[in-house]
Amino acid sequence: MDIDLTPIDGKNIDILYFLEFVAEELKKHISLLKNKSYKNIAFTSSNKNNFKHFFEEIIPLMFFLQKEKGIYSKIKYMSSDQKGDAILDDSTTIEITKAQNENKYLVTQDMLNHGYAFSSKNIQNEVSTTSKTQPYVHKNEEHIKDVALYIHEAIEKKLKKNYPHGSILIISFESDTLMLECDGDYSCLEKEVMNFGKGIFSKIYIIENFLNDDLQPKWQFML
Protein backbone atom coordinates (compact mmCIF):
# COMPACT_ATOMS: atom_id res chain seq x y z
CA MET A 1 0.00 0.00 0.00
CA ASP A 2 1.39 3.37 -1.01
CA ILE A 3 0.61 6.60 -2.83
CA ASP A 4 2.08 6.83 -6.32
CA LEU A 5 3.63 10.29 -6.67
CA THR A 6 5.15 9.63 -10.09
CA PRO A 7 2.71 11.92 -11.98
CA ILE A 8 3.77 14.99 -9.94
CA ASP A 9 7.21 14.28 -8.44
CA GLY A 10 10.11 16.15 -10.08
CA LYS A 11 7.94 17.39 -12.94
CA ASN A 12 7.19 21.01 -13.84
CA ILE A 13 3.42 20.80 -14.29
CA ASP A 14 0.35 23.02 -14.46
CA ILE A 15 -0.95 23.93 -11.03
CA LEU A 16 -4.47 22.87 -12.00
CA TYR A 17 -3.23 19.34 -12.78
CA PHE A 18 -1.32 19.23 -9.48
CA LEU A 19 -4.40 20.31 -7.52
CA GLU A 20 -6.67 17.78 -9.22
CA PHE A 21 -4.21 14.93 -8.67
CA VAL A 22 -3.66 15.67 -4.96
CA ALA A 23 -7.37 16.25 -4.26
CA GLU A 24 -8.22 12.89 -5.82
CA GLU A 25 -5.50 11.08 -3.84
CA LEU A 26 -6.73 12.74 -0.62
CA LYS A 27 -10.30 11.55 -1.23
CA LYS A 28 -8.98 8.07 -1.96
CA HIS A 29 -6.99 8.13 1.29
CA ILE A 30 -10.05 9.16 3.35
CA SER A 31 -12.09 6.32 1.83
CA LEU A 32 -9.43 3.75 2.83
CA LEU A 33 -9.06 4.77 6.48
CA LYS A 34 -11.48 2.04 7.63
CA ASN A 35 -8.86 -0.49 6.51
CA LYS A 36 -6.72 -1.06 9.63
CA SER A 37 -3.66 -2.24 7.68
CA TYR A 38 -3.82 0.82 5.43
CA LYS A 39 -4.24 3.14 8.43
CA ASN A 40 -1.20 1.69 10.22
CA ILE A 41 0.98 2.12 7.14
CA ALA A 42 -0.31 5.62 6.36
CA PHE A 43 0.22 7.04 9.84
CA THR A 44 3.50 5.35 10.74
CA SER A 45 6.40 7.53 9.63
CA SER A 46 8.62 5.65 7.21
CA ASN A 47 11.16 6.39 4.51
CA LYS A 48 9.97 3.31 2.64
CA ASN A 49 6.73 4.85 1.36
CA ASN A 50 5.34 8.19 0.15
CA PHE A 51 2.80 8.87 2.90
CA LYS A 52 5.17 11.16 4.83
CA HIS A 53 5.75 13.29 1.72
CA PHE A 54 2.04 13.33 0.95
CA PHE A 55 0.80 14.37 4.41
CA GLU A 56 3.61 16.67 5.49
CA GLU A 57 4.48 18.40 2.21
CA ILE A 58 2.08 17.81 -0.67
CA ILE A 59 -1.23 18.44 1.12
CA PRO A 60 -0.06 21.75 2.71
CA LEU A 61 1.31 22.75 -0.71
CA MET A 62 -2.06 21.97 -2.30
CA PHE A 63 -3.92 24.24 0.13
CA PHE A 64 -1.39 27.04 -0.38
CA LEU A 65 -1.86 26.85 -4.16
CA GLN A 66 -5.64 26.82 -3.73
CA LYS A 67 -5.44 29.96 -1.59
CA GLU A 68 -3.18 31.65 -4.17
CA LYS A 69 -5.24 30.39 -7.12
CA GLY A 70 -4.76 32.44 -10.28
CA ILE A 71 -1.47 34.03 -9.16
CA TYR A 72 0.88 31.27 -10.32
CA SER A 73 0.80 28.82 -13.23
CA LYS A 74 3.50 26.11 -12.77
CA ILE A 75 4.71 24.01 -9.85
CA LYS A 76 7.56 21.52 -9.55
CA TYR A 77 7.35 19.41 -6.40
CA MET A 78 10.50 17.47 -5.45
CA SER A 79 10.49 14.63 -2.91
CA SER A 80 14.25 14.09 -3.06
CA ASP A 81 16.68 15.79 -0.67
CA GLN A 82 17.53 19.31 -1.79
CA LYS A 83 17.16 22.89 -0.60
CA GLY A 84 13.48 23.60 -1.06
CA ASP A 85 10.58 21.20 -1.58
CA ALA A 86 9.12 22.87 -4.66
CA ILE A 87 9.80 25.50 -7.33
CA LEU A 88 7.03 27.89 -8.28
CA ASP A 89 6.91 29.30 -11.82
CA ASP A 90 10.52 28.18 -12.47
CA SER A 91 11.86 30.77 -10.04
CA THR A 92 10.49 30.84 -6.49
CA THR A 93 11.69 28.30 -3.91
CA ILE A 94 9.08 26.83 -1.57
CA GLU A 95 10.13 25.21 1.70
CA ILE A 96 7.60 23.14 3.65
CA THR A 97 7.95 22.26 7.34
CA LYS A 98 6.02 21.20 10.45
CA ALA A 99 5.43 22.96 13.76
CA GLN A 100 4.51 20.75 16.69
CA ASN A 101 5.55 19.37 20.07
CA GLU A 102 8.71 17.27 19.72
CA ASN A 103 6.84 14.35 21.37
CA LYS A 104 3.91 14.48 18.95
CA TYR A 105 4.99 11.17 17.41
CA LEU A 106 4.07 9.46 20.69
CA VAL A 107 0.47 10.65 20.28
CA THR A 108 0.35 8.99 16.86
CA GLN A 109 1.97 5.88 18.30
CA ASP A 110 -0.62 5.62 21.07
CA MET A 111 -3.48 6.14 18.62
CA LEU A 112 -2.23 3.28 16.47
CA ASN A 113 -1.42 0.94 19.36
CA HIS A 114 -4.34 1.63 21.70
CA GLY A 115 -6.96 3.52 19.70
CA TYR A 116 -6.66 6.59 21.93
CA ALA A 117 -4.07 9.15 23.03
CA PHE A 118 -3.73 11.95 25.55
CA SER A 119 -1.38 14.94 25.56
CA SER A 120 2.19 15.12 24.27
CA LYS A 121 2.99 17.53 27.13
CA ASN A 122 3.02 14.92 29.90
CA ILE A 123 5.09 11.99 28.66
CA GLN A 124 6.04 8.89 30.65
CA ASN A 125 9.75 8.26 30.16
CA GLU A 126 9.75 4.71 31.50
CA VAL A 127 9.22 1.81 29.09
CA SER A 128 5.62 0.66 29.23
CA THR A 129 3.22 -1.46 27.20
CA THR A 130 0.47 1.00 28.06
CA SER A 131 0.04 4.45 26.56
CA LYS A 132 3.01 6.85 26.74
CA THR A 133 0.81 9.95 26.67
CA GLN A 134 -1.06 11.00 29.80
CA PRO A 135 -3.95 13.39 30.56
CA TYR A 136 -2.91 17.03 30.79
CA VAL A 137 -5.08 20.08 31.53
CA HIS A 138 -4.15 23.23 29.60
CA LYS A 139 -4.80 26.42 31.54
CA ASN A 140 -6.26 29.58 30.01
CA GLU A 141 -4.55 30.22 26.63
CA GLU A 142 -1.61 27.89 27.27
CA HIS A 143 -2.37 25.70 24.24
CA ILE A 144 -2.45 28.78 21.97
CA LYS A 145 0.86 30.07 23.35
CA ASP A 146 2.35 26.63 22.76
CA VAL A 147 1.23 26.55 19.11
CA ALA A 148 2.60 30.06 18.57
CA LEU A 149 5.91 28.92 20.05
CA TYR A 150 6.07 25.87 17.77
CA ILE A 151 5.39 28.09 14.73
CA HIS A 152 7.95 30.70 15.79
CA GLU A 153 10.61 28.03 16.34
CA ALA A 154 9.88 26.57 12.90
CA ILE A 155 10.32 30.00 11.28
CA GLU A 156 13.53 30.77 13.15
CA LYS A 157 14.98 27.38 12.26
CA LYS A 158 14.34 27.93 8.54
CA LEU A 159 15.66 31.51 8.65
CA LYS A 160 19.04 30.07 9.62
CA LYS A 161 19.15 28.23 6.29
CA ASN A 162 20.46 29.97 3.18
CA TYR A 163 17.28 30.07 1.10
CA PRO A 164 17.04 32.50 -1.84
CA HIS A 165 15.58 35.88 -0.96
CA GLY A 166 11.86 35.93 -1.71
CA SER A 167 11.33 32.23 -1.03
CA ILE A 168 8.02 31.03 0.39
CA LEU A 169 7.71 29.09 3.65
CA ILE A 170 4.76 26.77 4.29
CA ILE A 171 4.18 25.60 7.88
CA SER A 172 1.65 22.97 8.94
CA PHE A 173 1.08 22.86 12.68
CA GLU A 174 -0.53 20.51 15.18
CA SER A 175 -1.83 21.70 18.52
CA ASP A 176 -1.40 19.66 21.71
CA THR A 177 -5.15 19.90 22.23
CA LEU A 178 -8.24 20.81 20.23
CA MET A 179 -8.41 24.38 18.94
CA LEU A 180 -11.91 25.85 19.09
CA GLU A 181 -13.14 28.65 16.85
CA CYS A 182 -16.10 29.35 19.15
CA ASP A 183 -13.67 30.15 22.00
CA GLY A 184 -11.69 32.58 19.87
CA ASP A 185 -8.60 30.34 19.79
CA TYR A 186 -7.78 31.12 16.16
CA SER A 187 -8.20 34.87 16.60
CA CYS A 188 -5.77 34.75 19.51
CA LEU A 189 -3.33 32.69 17.48
CA GLU A 190 -3.49 35.18 14.60
CA LYS A 191 -2.56 38.01 16.99
CA GLU A 192 0.46 36.01 18.15
CA VAL A 193 1.57 35.09 14.64
CA MET A 194 1.26 38.62 13.24
CA ASN A 195 4.17 39.66 15.47
CA PHE A 196 6.58 37.23 13.80
CA GLY A 197 9.11 38.52 11.27
CA LYS A 198 9.36 36.97 7.80
CA GLY A 199 13.05 37.63 7.20
CA ILE A 200 14.02 36.57 3.66
CA PHE A 201 10.66 34.91 3.01
CA SER A 202 8.20 36.80 0.82
CA LYS A 203 5.29 34.82 2.25
CA ILE A 204 4.79 32.50 5.20
CA TYR A 205 1.67 30.36 4.87
CA ILE A 206 0.51 28.63 8.07
CA ILE A 207 -2.09 25.87 8.10
CA GLU A 208 -3.52 23.61 10.79
CA ASN A 209 -2.92 19.95 10.07
CA PHE A 210 -6.60 19.08 10.57
CA LEU A 211 -9.39 18.76 8.01
CA ASN A 212 -13.10 19.51 8.25
CA ASP A 213 -15.70 17.14 6.81
CA ASP A 214 -15.48 19.00 3.50
CA LEU A 215 -11.73 18.16 3.38
CA GLN A 216 -10.76 21.77 3.94
CA PRO A 217 -8.39 23.01 6.68
CA LYS A 218 -9.92 24.33 9.90
CA TRP A 219 -7.57 27.34 9.87
CA GLN A 220 -5.05 28.91 7.52
CA PHE A 221 -3.21 32.21 7.63
CA MET A 222 -0.86 34.12 5.35
CA LEU A 223 1.87 36.14 7.03
Cα–Cα distance for residue pair 116/119, rounded to 1 Å: 11
Residue count (the chain): 223
Cα–Cα distance for residue pair 199/116, rounded to 1 Å: 40
Q: What pLDDT does 28 receive?
A: 83
What are the Cα distances from residue 63, in Å, to 26, 119, 137? Answer: 12, 27, 32
Please give the chain's pLDDT, 223 residues, in tens. Answer: 678 899 999 999 999 999 999 999 988 877 766 666 765 665 665 666 777 888 889 999 999 999 999 999 999 999 987 789 999 999 999 999 999 887 666 666 666 666 666 667 766 555 455 667 676 667 788 899 999 999 999 999 999 999 999 999 999 998 888 788 878 999 999 999 999 999 999 999 999 988 777 778 889 999 9
- Provide the residue ranges of all domains of the chain, joining segments of one domain with +: 12-101+140-222
Q: What pLDDT does 94 receive?
A: 98
Asked whether the whole model's pTM tops 0.95, one would answer no
Cα–Cα distance for residue pair 121/100, rounded to 1 Å: 11
8 A C-beta contact, residue 172 and residue 99: yes
What are phi and psi for residue 221, nearest 5 degrees? -150, 140
Cα–Cα distance for residue pair 77/62, rounded to 1 Å: 11
Q: What pLDDT does 163 receive?
A: 95
What are the Cα distances from residue 127, in Å, to 105, 121, 182? Answer: 16, 17, 39
